[in-house]
Amino acid sequence: MRLDLTQKYDLRLPRYTSYPTAPHFSPAVGAETYAAWLAAMAPDTPLSLYLHIAYCAEMCWFCGCHTKITQRYAPVADYLDALLKEIALVAERLPSRMKARHVHFGGGSPTILSPEDFLKTMDFLRARFVIAPGAEVAVELDPRTADQAYVAAMAKGGVTRASIGVQDFNPKVQQAINRIQPYEVSKRVIDWLRKAGIAGINMDLVYGLPFQTAESVVETIEQAVGLGPQRIALFGYAHVPWMKKHQRLIPEETLPDVPERWRQYEWASRRLVELGYVAVGLDHFAKPDDELALALKEGRLHRNFQGYTTDSAGSLLGFGASGIGALDQGYVGNEGGIDAYKRIVREGKLATTRGIAITDADRLRRAIIERLMCDLAVDLDRVCAAHKADAGQFAPALASLAPLAGDGVVTIEGRRIRVTDDGRPLVRAVCAAFDQYLKAGEQRHSKAV
């Protein structure tokens, strides 16, 4: 991609893990609405469950997640107690003991749970949901806190996939982000996982971090590939110190500028493809025989709050402080403050404090944005036909893409839009043309590249 384009489109745009995006949720949707939506769910709706473990042992300075630091286990145990209460409160509002096809433990650090508590949580879920045979059970894993006993508990609990947080193997970068994690520590946990029979291994890497260069990012890529993960996610560091105060600990002068971020992304992406991975959407890479790469090939890739997924479940139930759910009627978000969250669920109430009801027009635009984010292409006629909508309404959006087409970011044939290889890092700018909620001047998200 041309350098001038990365500068021209240095917009701060949403990552489009939902549409409408989370900043548009409001208190108009609360616990009562969520309870009504849960009760109205068709009993055979396949579910996806997300459990947010909102604690970590130490703060990584680049972190953009919703988490709290603790050195003691008591707050974690107390939080888990509330989380299980919330699961029970939600489950009793559902029309039946429903089937879950995906379970995802995210955070924070799910590996901060004791092995016993992890197994207790899985048993608790199994008592309230039918975990479908062949369901994907995924855990975000911090190699610094996961020990062999935890990995054994994961295997016993039926975990099929682990997402390993690495970010960068370079010691200077690790020091600058306050995340010291030697290569051997990551390797060791991967060996344990494989020995325990957990074959699905993802690795999360980040570019745009302090002191990184395109050369150093490629070195990390090569080390990562040497460990043989099926999938690699390559995220751009989002420096938003006005939202995440601890990011102020990263001096801005140590951060790569936009052209350098672009070089890092491009060099890393190219190297991953050379090493046999298939580029999936904006920021994922998968081995050609991996389910994510196959889903991409077959046009059944999806995007949800965890990123790219093969999960086509009808509804996502989110548990924990700041947990987000997606139901047919709309999105719901939980109270983010841990103390307030615990208090609400201990009063026997659902912790929903915000959300948004979605309209058919939102569903249509969501489908268009999802195809763009997943396939890097969309046929508006096809999506509109599936939604029984008039594709002519998108004439202004198509017209607004003319500058991107002129710059070689997209090609437009009739109402078919295709993001070019060069334009891939700018796909969010293409999606933005279909985002009715995005107003000029409100783009306080992370950089598009």
Residue of 29, 49, 53, 60 that binds ligand SF4 (CB under 6 A): 60
Q: Indicate whether 107 belongs to the interface with ligand SF4 (CB under 6 A).
A: yes
Structure tokens at 138: 């995924």
Q: Could you tell me the CA-to-CA distances from 275 to 158, 227, 285 in Å, in that order? A: 31, 12, 11
- Point out which span in 82-90, 107-115, 230-238, 317-325 binds ligand SF4 (CB under 6 A): 107-115
State which of positions 162-201 bind ligand SF4 (CB under 6 A).
165
Compare residues 60 and 232 and give the one whose CB is closer to ligand SF4.
60
Q: Indicate whether 324 belongs to the interface with ligand SF4 (CB under 6 A).
A: no
Cα–Cα distance, 100 to 238 (Å, whole number):
32
Number of residues this chain uses to bind ligand SF4 (CB under 6 A): 11
Residue of 11, 35, 65, 357 that binds ligand SF4 (CB under 6 A): 65
Q: Indicate whether 63 belongs to the interface with ligand SF4 (CB under 6 A).
A: yes
Cα–Cα distance, 200 to 241 (Å, whole number):
34
DSSP labels for 261-322? HHHHHHHHHHHHHHTTPEEETTTEEE-TTSHHHHHHHTT--EEETTEEES---SEEEEESTT
Compare residues 167 and 315 and give the one whose CB is closer to ligand SF4.
167
Compare residues 142 and 370 and give the one whose CB is closer to ligand SF4.
142
Residue of 38, 56, 327, 368 that binds ligand SF4 (CB under 6 A): 56
Cα–Cα distance, 55 to 79 (Å, whole number):
9
Residue of 11, 22, 35, 59 that binds ligand SF4 (CB under 6 A): 59
Compare residues 170 and 315 and give the one whose CB is closer to ligand SF4.
170
Cα–Cα distance, 120 to 363 (Å, whole number):
37
Residue of 48, 109, 202, 304 that binds ligand SF4 (CB under 6 A): 109
Structure tokens at 314: 């009808």
- Other CB atoms within 10 Å distance of the CB of residue 131: 19
State which of positions 132-151 bind ligand SF4 (CB under 6 A).
142
| In 310-445, beta strands by DSSP E | 315-319, 324-327, 330-334, 352-357, 377-379, 410-413, 416-419
Compare residues 86 and 142 and give the one whose CB is closer to ligand SF4.
142
Compare residues 20 and 106 and give the one whose CB is closer to ligand SF4.
106
Cα–Cα distance, 167 to 165 (Å, whole number):
6
Q: Please answer whether residues 249 and 208 qualify as being in contact, where contact means their C-beta atoms are separated by less than 8 angstroms.
A: no
Tell me the sheet residues that pair with 207: 236
- Point out which span in 105-113, 188-196, 399-407, 432-440 binds ligand SF4 (CB under 6 A): 105-113
Compare residues 146 and 350 and give the one whose CB is closer to ligand SF4.
146
Positions touching ligand SF4 (CB under 6 A) are 56, 59-60, 63, 65, 67, 107-109, 142, 165
